[in-house]
Structure formats: structure tokens, C-alpha cells
Amino acid sequence: MEKLAAAFAVTLGKYVSKEAVVFIISMIPILELRGGLIVSKLLEVPITTAIPLCIIGNIIPIPFILLFIKQIFKWMKKIRLFRGLVEKLEAKAMGKSDNIRKYEFWGLVLFVGIPLPGTGAWTGSLIAALLDVDFKKAVLAELLGIAIATVIMSIFSYGLLGALL
């Protein structure tokens, strides 16, 4: 993830400020807040600036995914070119949905909050939407998950990674 985040930072950094880079990276699937905090440390953005940028950037896509992804997927499946991609995304998301299905709220909190490959707010929102989790419950769970991820990744990025740099 560090290499991917750094590549985005270098590319975007040619056109926008380092704070904007951190914000944009935090909105991108796969990278999200985790990548944003790593990049913020690499770009020497103060943690007090980085955390709000990463949190807001990570939160912005959540309601759109929860509210519209099923309709978007339904429309995309009608187009042969996208059908396979959508089915693959749905299968991959549902393959990770066991704990969310079983524990719903707390499963979603932990899924979003524990920074492992393939987890995060984007995938959590997709799974919540596909499982028809109540919108308010899903948003609250994801906000708590983002708070947990922020603490973990801040320690990693500014603590452990900061000590190595």
C-alpha cells in the first residue's frame, strides 16, 4: 500500500497542495484513510492537519455508496461490458461479509476499523448496502470504524513509521 500511496502522492503532488493530496488519497478505494495517513507522514503534513483531512476524505463516499451502489450495480449489470466486473465485486464483498452478517453493527465497526488488506469504509459500505443494513446504523458503525482506524494508523504512520524515518 505504501508504494501505491506514494505513487499517487507523486502524481497528484504535481498539480495540488500536499494537503489536497492527503485528502484525495483518503477518498480513493483501497488507499482510504490508511493511505492518506501514510502519505501525510511522507509529505511531512502535521498530524493535526492530516487527521481531519483523512477522516473527512474517508467519510465523504460512505453515504453515496450506501444509498446508490445497488442501483448503480443494477444498471451496470445491464451492460455486458460491466456485468462481469460487478458480479466479481459483489462476490468479493460478500465473501468478506460473514462477520458483518453475524455481528452486524460491531462486525461492521471492526471490519472498517482494523486496517487489513481488503477492509475499510468503501468495502464496508458496499457490504452494508448489499446486506441491506439500516442506513443510520451503517453510517454510525463506519464512523466508529474510521475512528479506530485513525488511531491505529496514526500510531503506525507517525509513531512507528515516524521513528524509522
Measure the CA–CA gap between 149 and 21, rounded to whole angstroms.
Answer: 19
For residues 51 and 115, state if they share a domain: no
pLDDT for 162: 53
Torsion sign over Cα 9, 5, 110, 138: positive
88 and 121 together in one domain: yes
Please determine, for residue 160, whether its predicted confidence score (pLDDT) is greater than 70: no
Q: For residues 130-157, give the mean pLDDT.
A: 95
**Same domain assignment for residues 134 and 159:** no
Task: Of 163, 165, 159, 164, give the one whose Cα is nearest residue 37.
Answer: 159
**Res 161: pLDDT:** 54
How many domains is the chain built from?
2
DSSP secondary structure letter of residue 28: S
Pair (127, 137) in one structural domain: yes
DSSP state of 109: H
Whether the predicted pLDDT of 109 surpasses 90 = yes
On whether both 52 and 122 belong to a single domain, the answer is no
Q: Are residues 6 and 47 in the same domain?
A: yes
Please tell me whether residues 83 and 49 are part of one structural domain: no
List pLDDT tens digits, range 4-53.
Answer: 887 878 888 789 999 999 999 999 998 999 999 999 998 999 999 999 99
pTM assigned to the model:
0.87
71-96 residues labelled b (16+ CB within 10 A) or e (exposed): eebeebeeeeeeeeebeebbeebeeb
Average pLDDT of the segment spanning 135-147:
97
Domain that includes residue 23, residue range: 2-59+151-164
Do 2 and 32 touch, CB atoms closer than 8 A? no
67 and 53 co-located in one domain: no
